[in-house]
Structure 1
Amino acid sequence: MTSSPSRRRRLALAVAAAALAASACIMTAVFARPVTVASNLLGADWQCRRIVWVTSCTRVQPEVPAVRASPKEPVVWRPV
C-alpha cells in the first residue's frame, strides 16, 4: 500500500500547521502576564487585571484585625 507524494506532502503541511498553532497558543499562555487595569467605574473596592483580551475583576475587601482593642484597654497576653 503506497501513498502518493502529494498526499504525504499535504499531511506533513497539516501536521506542521497544527504544531505551529499549538506552539503559538502555549507561548501566549506562558508569556502573558496579568496587567493591572485602572477601573474608575467600579470604584476603589475592585481590582481588575487583563490577560491578553480577557479582563477579570475581583472585589478587594479591607483586612479586619483578628483582635480589636479599644485605646483604653491594653491587650494583655496571658499563658493558658
Structure 2
Amino acid sequence: MTISRLSLKALVIAVAVVTAAGAMLLLARPQPIESAVLGADWECTQTAFVLTTCAPRAQQAIPAVETSRKDALRATRG
C-alpha cells in the first residue's frame, strides 16, 4: 500500500489545522477574573484576552419547600 505524496501532504495540513483550531478554542474559553473596582457582588469573565463581561452574582434562592403560601400572603399584605 503506497501513500501518494498528495494525500500525505493533505494529511499533514489537516492535522495542522485541527491542532491550530484546538489551540484557539483552548485560549478563547471564558476565564473567571477578579474585579476590584466592582467588588465581591459581581462575577466577571474574560474571553480570548479581549472580551470582558460582568454580571451580578446570583443570590441564594430560597427553596420552595421552606416557604409556605401563608408566609407569602402575609408578606404581601404588609
- For the pair shown, which has the larger CA radius of gyration, 1 or 2? 1
Higher share in helix: 2
- Measured against the shorter chain, the TM-score band is 0.3 to 0.5
The TM-score normalised by the length of structure 2 is 0.45
The TM-score normalised by the length of structure 1 is 0.44
